[in-house]
Structure 1
Amino acid sequence: MYRKIQFILLLIFISTWNLHAQDPNFSGYGKIDRHAKRAPDSICNNLTFLHKYLVSAAETDEEKIRAFYIWIIKNIKYKDQIELKYNSDVLFYMGSNNCSSPVCVLSRKQAVCEGFSKIFEYFCQQSGIEAYSIGGYISKNGVLQDRATHSWNLLKINGTWRFFDLSWAYATLRYTGIKSSTNEFFMVEPEQFILTHLPLIPMWQVLESPITIETFNQGDSKIIEQLASAPQNYSFTDSIAAFKLLPQYKKRLKTADEIFKTNPSNKFNRAIEYYRFAQIAVNFDSEITPLIYYKLIRAQEKIKVAIDLFQTSDDISSKIMYLHSKDLLKLINRLLDSASSDIIYLK
């Protein structure tokens, strides 16, 4: 009897929570929304000019964020582009020419979810707002997830963390035409957002009781149950602060380690982080110093691991990244071979 009452109360809690999330008061955004929608075409291909216009009518950081959000979901289309690309080693392979950089997204006026999150992150950061593009898992009805399939944003607003999902907001606006529904993905509280979005690593949940991927895959009831009963013993504030102090290459390695701890079956995203680490290592303008040489040695080690991880899957993305990783390994090997004899002994 007790368990039945407990379950009924849990269902009431879920219903109340969802109702609260779906019916926010956004009436105060009318002026800034209209301003964002009226951005002249003449400035919409220039990040600097567009940013300056969007913030010109905003009186608060929250209004700036709203202007960025509205302009993006009204002007950037979701489109996944796949094309054939020539490769001398394999004649051709299936590749993707999706772009995620803010410059590319603005130029094409189209993107996948990562592109939406990157351009939103850019505008916010240009305004001095702490913002992150986050990759992670979305609810899959209990199916084991071996990689992140989605990207969204996390922002700190007036000392409080809030989530945004612009590509979902775009999809809602485009396919339902219900403008108010796009607000479901604007400034969402962490406890609500975690019902449908699980970041790759725990600190980006900004919860004191991080949800495991096992719990996430069991759905709303289990997630809310854990939020209500699990001890609040995790300091995401300290974790984020420590992460921000790391240089970019160490952030990549830290993220790869956390991905493995959180979901060992996710080989793809761990390999991506090793690939990104190796890319940073080869991006230098000076002669090869002992420190650069050491980073290249580590990059050589990690890109080999990435190649092995990409080989474990037969999907197109893994095959593409396998080829890119092989090319990157060749570059690293050439750089190591070009180092002076005074440095090579470090190997």
Structure 2
Amino acid sequence: MISMKRMYAAFLILLNLSVFAQTPVDNTLYAHALKAPKTTDVKLLARYLSSGPIKSEAKTVETFFYWIAQNIAYDTVLFKKGTIMEEDVTVAKTLKNKKSVCAGYSQLLLELCNAAQIECLIIEGTARYYNMGPNGAGHAWNAVKINGKWELIDTTWGSGYLDDTGKFKKHLDLKYFLADPEFMIIEHFPNDHAWQLMEKPVSSTVFDGKEWEEKRLRLFYNLTDDDAYATYKQRMKQAKTAPKTKKSI
């Protein structure tokens, strides 16, 4: 649990597409999540969501992901508060107010999984998107053990983004459900390197370096192949100006 820390969340705008494949929406599970009872009882909610037509750990967690994306908004007021206390991000408060920050999102998924007897934990670390600056921002996401294998999930980034005015916009993004570790490490750096889930973990020096910033640029602008990237660099060189991003934290 994240307590008494200044926490931030970085959101991807809709233009941030990826060559990494994402799971297609399961319309049956999505519809099941939409019909969930209105409750602040996390165990009751988990019981309903896990009673869907397809019984498996992966499908249960996928239904949790849908429900969170459907119902929990990013709390921009709490975000602007700066210092976020443990009591600000309890599951009870998140379910009551239907909004939170990354600590609340990750805590909610943790408790839903616990109620369904699915192993889950919260990962704390740094989020850093293209042109953000040298330090990144504190962030929290989850690891969930499904069929004996640890998987990465970011319900905050998978639920929406902040527009240019700082207003939260809901947008389901399944790239952050059972995310490819090679995709996650581009913009997510866990404090415990083991939770990169990479055979060869990336060092903080590499994550902060020029090569990784180039990866973030290519991800941000959807430069999926070398030719597209070369064309982009030539265009920027001719313009003699650095591109400006509109991401929010």
Residue by residue over 1:225-263, the C-alpha shift from the partner in whole angstroms, topping out at 9 and shown as x without a partner, is xxxxxxxxxxxxxxxxxxxxxxxxxxxxxxxxxxxxxxx
Q: 1:223 to 1:201 in 2, by over 3 A?
A: farther
Q: Which residue of the other structure, out of 78, 86, 109, is the alignment partner of 2:74?
A: 78
Q: 1:25 to 1:173 in 2, by over 3 A?
A: farther
The letter of the residue matching 1:214 is T
Give identity over the alignment, percent: 26
Q: Does 1:131 align with 2:127?
A: no
1:45 aligned residue: 40
Residue by residue over 1:285-320, the C-alpha shift from the partner in whole angstroms, topping out at 9 and shown as x without a partner, is xxxxxxxxxxxxxxxxxxxxxxxxxxxxxxxxxxxx
The letter of the residue matching 2:44 is F
Residue 151 of structure 1: SS of its match in structure 2? Answer: strand
Q: Does 1:54 align with 2:49?
A: yes
The letter of the residue matching 2:176 is F
Q: Does 1:200 align with 2:195?
A: no
Q: 1:129 to 1:223 in 2, by over 3 A?
A: farther
> Is the 1:102–1:119 contact (alpha carbons within 8 Å) kept by the matching residues of 2?
yes
Distance in structure 2 (CA, Å) of the matches to 1:33 and 1:136: 30
> Is the 2:69–2:158 contact (alpha carbons within 8 Å) kept by the matching residues of 1?
yes
1:122 aligned residue: 111
Q: Which runs of 4+ in 1 moved over 3 A?
A: 80-83, 94-98, 140-144, 172-179, 219-224
Residue 65 of structure 1: SS of its match in structure 2? Answer: helix
2:219 aligned residue: none
1:172 deviation in Å?
Answer: 4.2
Residue 132 of structure 1: SS of its match in structure 2? Answer: strand
Q: Does 1:104 align with 2:99?
A: no
Residue by residue over 1:114-155, the C-alpha shift from the partner in whole angstroms, topping out at 9 and shown as x without a partner, is 10011001111222222111111112548432x851111111
Distance in structure 1 (CA, Å) of the matches to 2:83 and 2:152: 31
Distance in structure 1 (CA, Å) of the matches to 2:35 and 2:71: 11
> Is the 2:160–2:170 contact (alpha carbons within 8 Å) kept by the matching residues of 1?
no
1:24 deviation in Å?
Answer: 3.0
More helix by share: 1
1:208 deviation in Å?
Answer: 2.5
Residue 88 of structure 2: SS of its match in structure 1? Answer: coil
Residue 26 of structure 1: SS of its match in structure 2? Answer: coil
2:202 aligned residue: 211
Residue 186 of structure 2: SS of its match in structure 1? Answer: coil
Higher relative contact order (CA 8 A, sep 6+): 2
More strand by share: 2
1:276 aligned residue: none
The letter of the residue matching 1:26 is P
Q: Which residue of the other structure, out of 116, 119, 140, is the alignment partner of 1:151?
A: 140
Residue 198 of structure 2: SS of its match in structure 1? Answer: coil
- Aligned-pair RMSD on alpha carbons? 3.0
Distance in structure 1 (CA, Å) of the matches to 2:214 and 2:150: 23
For these two proteins, the number of residue pairs brought into alignment is: 190
Q: Which residue of the other structure, out of 8, 24, 27, is the alignment partner of 1:26?
A: 24
1:35 deviation in Å?
Answer: 0.2
1:96 deviation in Å?
Answer: 4.7
Residue 195 of structure 1: SS of its match in structure 2? Answer: helix
Residue 104 of structure 1: SS of its match in structure 2? Answer: helix
Q: Structure 2 stretches of 5 or more lacking a match? A: 1-17, 217-249
Q: Report the TM-score, using the length of structure 2 for normalisation.
A: 0.66
Distance in structure 2 (CA, Å) of the matches to 1:194 and 1:213: 11
Q: Structure 1 stretches of 5 or more lacking a match? A: 1-17, 86-93, 225-347
1:104 deviation in Å?
Answer: 2.0
Residue 166 of structure 1: SS of its match in structure 2? Answer: coil
In the TM superposition, 1:221-260 aligns within 5 A as none
**Which has more radius of gyration?**
1
Distance in structure 2 (CA, Å) of the matches to 1:111 and 1:178: 16
The letter of the residue matching 2:134 is L
Q: Which residue of the other structure, out of 151, 154, 173, is the alignment partner of 1:162?
A: 151
1:177 deviation in Å?
Answer: 6.2
> Is the 1:195–1:223 contact (alpha carbons within 8 Å) kept by the matching residues of 2?
yes
Distance in structure 2 (CA, Å) of the matches to 1:173 and 1:77: 10
